[in-house]
Amino acid sequence: MAGSSNDTMLVRAGDDAFGSQDMFNKELQTYRKIVGANLMFHREVYGVLRDLLVEHAPASFRFLDIACGDASASAAMLKTTAIGNYVGIDLSEASLRMAAQELDGLPCPVELRCNDFAQAMAEWSEPVDVIWIGMSLHHLPATGKAQLMRDARRSLGGKGLFIIWEPALFEGEERLSWLARFSLLRDEWSAVSDEEFASMERHMLLADFPETVGTWLGMGTDAGFSQAEEIFMMPNKMGRVFRFSN
């Protein structure tokens, strides 16, 4: 990217699977409302992530951002760390174009890859110190979640950090009860319109498959991580941040 303090490369793998530009713009507008009003507690979550990196990541660490989207939250957080290399994976080429702009200020090489993240992780063979995935792993079925955790463990080479931020059921809670809990947040989510909130509910009904805390942690230990712990719970109790390491 001309005039950048870093080197940014966008790698494509297959066709851009995102829908129309109008749909993308509409969803992006909703997402930015959510982040701007801190409805999902992005500020707290990325603060926790930064603290982990400062305390545990090696100097000039290589950071893999799975399902990075526009990478705005990651970019803002990583600018204050000792990052040495950034790789972002996302299926949306439109999101990656925005990510390239957001990441322009990072003091390290940046590579963005347009690919399905599960497929990309299954084929990953490069050294990495930290793997981060936020609010995306839950879209996979249980077998897919478990496989990605195994792929993350293998990719880290028995060291490093795997950190996930995902929806979590209470122990014994059913998925539909979790969805009903989200619907009860409507008054707190006044920053989005009724149409936007209803669209989110439809998306969650079709695509969100959270696990209990015990299941998330168990998937990590089953994947070979010796340490698995919950490190943050969203104040509305809809999701948690988990850390896996050896």
The three-state secondary structure class of 18 is coil
Q: What is the C-alpha separation between 168 and 240, in angstroms, rounded?
A: 6
Half-sphere exposure of 61 (CA within 13 A, CB side): 26
Report pLDDT for 19. 46
Q: Which of 106, 51, 58 is nearest to 78 (CA)?
A: 106
Q: Is-contact 223 150, C-beta < 8 A?
A: yes
> Which parts of the chain sit beneath pLDDT 70?
1-20
Q: Which of 213, 239, 216, 217 is nearest to 228 (CA)?
A: 217
Report pLDDT for 9. 66
Q: What is the CATH number of domain 9-59+117-245?
A: 3.40.50
Report pLDDT for 2. 33
Q: For 129-175, what is each residue's pLDDT tens digit? A: 999 999 999 999 999 999 999 999 999 998 999 999 999 999 999 99
Task: State whether the Cα torsion 182-144-13-8 is positive or negative.
Answer: positive
Distances 143 to 29, 120, 137, 138, 180 between C-alpha atoms, Å: 33, 16, 11, 11, 25
Q: Which of 161, 148, 141 is nearest to 211 (CA)?
A: 141
Sort 34 into a burial class: Cβ within 10 Å, 0-12 / 13-18 / 19+.
Answer: middle
Beta-sheet strands, E only, within the chain = 8-12, 61-66, 83-90, 110-114, 130-134, 161-169, 211-212, 227-233, 239-245
Share of the chain above pLDDT 70, in %: 91
Residue 179: other Cβ atoms inside 10 A: 15
Q: For 30-40, what is each residue's pLDDT tens digit? A: 999 999 999 99
Q: What is the C-alpha separation between 109 and 20, in angstroms, rounded?
A: 30
pTM greater than 0.85: yes
Report pLDDT for 20. 60
Bridge partners of residue 166, in order along the sequence: 240
Q: What is the C-alpha separation between 19 and 226, in angstroms, rounded?
A: 40
